[in-house]
Amino acid sequence: MPRFEVVTHVVAPPDRVFDISLDVGVHTASMAGSSEEAVGGVTAGGLVLGESVTWRARHFGIRWRMTSRISVYDRPGYFVDEQVSGPFKRWHHAHRFRSDGRGGTVMSDVIDFAAPFGFLGAIAEILVLRRYMPMLIRARSRYVKQVAETAPAAE
């Protein structure tokens, strides 16, 4: 099962980065290249423990749907989203936020996933997904960083 980590430094406090990372609209905007949109569950605003969202997106020319749920929520340090239904055999995305000691945040995304379809899925993981999935998460992280560093803080 592939596992990877993307670490991003954000010049904003952990609580702000945490909240932005759970915002459905921010996620949708970060994935505009795949026409991702929220079509079920929580479709706007922030997610909290136990809530789910169904995403629809286009990857590799194919329309996909995935429902994920926030299964762990410990603001402002940590949350996990996991696939409830969708294209993966397993999708577990741990989001960690820790202070850098200077008013910023070290944001870490740790993803464990597995493709379905046994041997064919394992080949897809090796040939495509091990490169493609980190690329998507890096794009999302860059967008979260941009929003956190430029948008005014909510009062």
Q: What is the SS3 string spanning 95-140? A: EEEEECCCCCEEEEEEEEEECCCHHHHHHHHHHHHHHHHHHHHHHH
- Considering the domain boundaries, does residue 22 fall inside one? yes
Q: Is residue 155 assigned to a domain?
A: no
Q: Residue 108: pLDDT above 70?
A: yes
Residue closest to 14 by CA, chosen among 125, 119, 102: 102
pLDDT category, 151, cuts 50, 70, 90? low
Structural domain boundaries, residue 117: 3-150
Q: Compute the average pLDDT of residues 124-130.
A: 83
DSSP state of 151: S
For residue 113, what is the domain's CATH number?
3.30.530.20
Q: What is the mean pLDDT of the chain?
A: 93
Instruction: Look at residue 153 and tell me whether its pLDDT is greater than 60.
Output: no
CA-nearest of 131, 123, 95 to 110 is 95
pLDDT at residue 61 in the model: 85
- The domain tally of the chain equals 1
Tokens matching residue 136: 């998507």
In a domain, 71, yes or no: yes
What value does the mean pLDDT take over residues 70-96?
A: 97
Give the integer Cα–Cα distance in Å for 60 and 41: 25
Q: What is the pLDDT of residues 14-72, one digit of tens each?
A: 999 999 999 999 999 999 988 999 999 999 999 999 999 999 999 888 899 999 999 99
In the predicted structure, residue 136 carries a pLDDT above the cut 50:
yes
Helix (H) or strand (E) segment spanning residue 6 = strand 3-10
Give me the pLDDT at residue 118, please: 84
Mean pLDDT of 113-138: 87
Total-model pTM = 0.92
| Cis amide prior to 76 (ω within 30 degrees) | yes
